[in-house]
Amino acid sequence: MDLEEPMGSVWRASAVAAGPGGGCRVLGLGTALPSTRVSNADLERFLETSDEWIASRTGIQERRVAGPEETLLDLAARSARACLGAAGVEPGQVDTIICSSSSPDETFPSLACRLQAELGCPLGPAFDLQAACSGAVYGLALAQSLIQSGLSHRVLVVAAEIFSRLLDWSDRSTAILFGDGAGAFLVGDERSPGSEILALDLGADGRGATALGTLPAPLDSQPSPNMPEYTSSKRSLGRVVTMNGREVFRFSTKILEEVVLRLAESIGVGVGDIALVVPHQANSRILATAAGRLKFPMERFVTNLERTGNTSSASIPLALAEAAANGVCRTGDLICLVAFGAGLTWGGLILRWGPTAVRVDDPATGG
Ligand code: ACO
């Protein structure tokens, strides 16, 4: 695959403006983080790396890791409860559940079915989707289609990840990047108060599948006594992340720029009219490079990767919720979410910010 090919013909856009009367809204947003913090200095104790290298190349200072007994369902359910609690919506009012995870504990049943039972939601559709780091935006796009078609009325979109169980902790090129967390969106129709979805753009280029994937986990013959519990092979999902960092960098910076431009054009505004871009929190150099190409001020790129690392599909709800909870999102703002990830996949949408209820469940900060 040649990722240097011109974007327009390689990654065909499907940007569509949501039609009047058929729009839908994000009513609530909730997130959940595990309480254990792992700093770059903690990684220095068992990896040949340094805080200086990690911070300067990626912007990441610390990440969260799930506790030994903490499951993906626990994180997903905490974020969903935070979301529903903030929105004042009972689980009984949610008719559809879509989950995204690249780190599921089991192939089936789906995380969404587990979550439906855990929350006590009605027996509507519940299923998982796989679009790697683009999963939350794919989920929102799917929720919008289900609502516009009349099949669903209240859709919970939950992205949950425990990447600490999907890493080769002896590989310094990937182990430093990722973290654990979950985020949930509640989506409803245009009669509800919330943030309106104005436009979306989804795509994939399967020719880039080898740039980012998983391999069987290496056999852990001699566990080192220096290794912390979260690196234990007993916790491993049996597969580990493998990545061509340079290829991912090239793809991510290009697609981020392209999607923001296409989305702005699809609703007839300039990039400068967008108040905030909430990108997938891959790493700060990817984001700074894309912001530079777009001539968009980096201060209007929402980032929280310094504290959470890259949480794959959970990263956009985590970053957006933190910004909203800090009062950064103002009524009427155009907010652009842009995700990109393995597949290769991408997904973007523009929200007009409205009264979206937000709750952050973070035991480490008391949030
Ligand atoms: N600590 C210290 N040295 C390291 C580390 C580390 N953690 N990791 C790699 N190195 C070394 C390499 O071994 C290499 O050494 P060498 O020159 O002796 O061979 C050197 O640092 C440079 O390695 P590169 O991979 O060339 O480093 P680069 O400057 O390109 O940056 C990075 C690496 C940050 C991963 C970059 O390629 C990148 O940003 N890629 C995007 C990857 C990414 O963010 N993925 C996120 C997941 S994908 C997603 O979410 C869509």
Tell me the per-residue pLDDT of 198-215, one tens digit each, with 9 for 90 and over. Answer: 999 999 999 999 999 999
Predicted confidence (pLDDT) per residue in 228-238, tens digit: 999 988 889 99
Angle in degrees, CA 160, 96, 78, rounded to 5: 35
pLDDT(256) > 70: yes
- Probe ligand 1: pick from 49, 50, 57, max atoms within 8 Å of CB? 57
Residue nearest to atom 46 of ligand 1 (CA): 282
Ligand 1 centre and the CA of 219: distance in Å?
A: 24
pLDDT at residue 226, as a whole number: 77
Distance, CA of 250 to chain centre: 19
Cβ of 283 closer than 6 Å to ligand 1, yes or no, is yes
CB atoms near residue 14 (< 10 Å): 10
**If you write DSSP's letter for every residue of 254-308 in order, what string do you get?**
HHHHHHHHHHHHHTT--GGG--EEEE--S-HHHHHHHHHHHT--GGGB---HHHH
pLDDT of 219 higher than 70: yes
What's residue 221's pLDDT?
A: 55
Percent of the chain with pLDDT over 70: 93
Q: Tokens 């409860």 label which residue?
A: 81
Which of these is catalytic: 83, 153, 280, 329?
280
Q: What percent of the chain has pLDDT over 90?
A: 87
Residue 197: other Cβ atoms inside 10 A:
24
The reported pLDDT for the residue numbered 365 is: 87
The tens digit of pLDDT for each residue in 60-108 reads 999 999 999 999 999 999 999 999 999 999 999 999 999 999 999 999 9
Pairwise CA distance, residues 111 & 229, whole Å: 25
Domains of the chain as residue ranges with CATH: 1-367 (3.40.47.10)
Output the pTM of the full model: 0.93
Residue 280 is a catalytic residue: yes
HSE (side-chain half, CA atoms, 13 Å) at 356: 38
- Within 8 A by CB and 6+ apart from 340, the residues are 133, 134, 251, 252, 255, 256, 259, 280, 282, 346, 347
Q: What is the CA radius of gyration of the chain?
A: 19
For residue 127, the model assigns a pLDDT of 98
Pocket flag, ligand 1, residue 310 (CB < 6 Å): yes
Looking at ligand 1, which atom is closest to the CA of residue 241? 47
State the distance from the centre of ligand 1 to the C-alpha of 3, rounded, in angstroms: 18
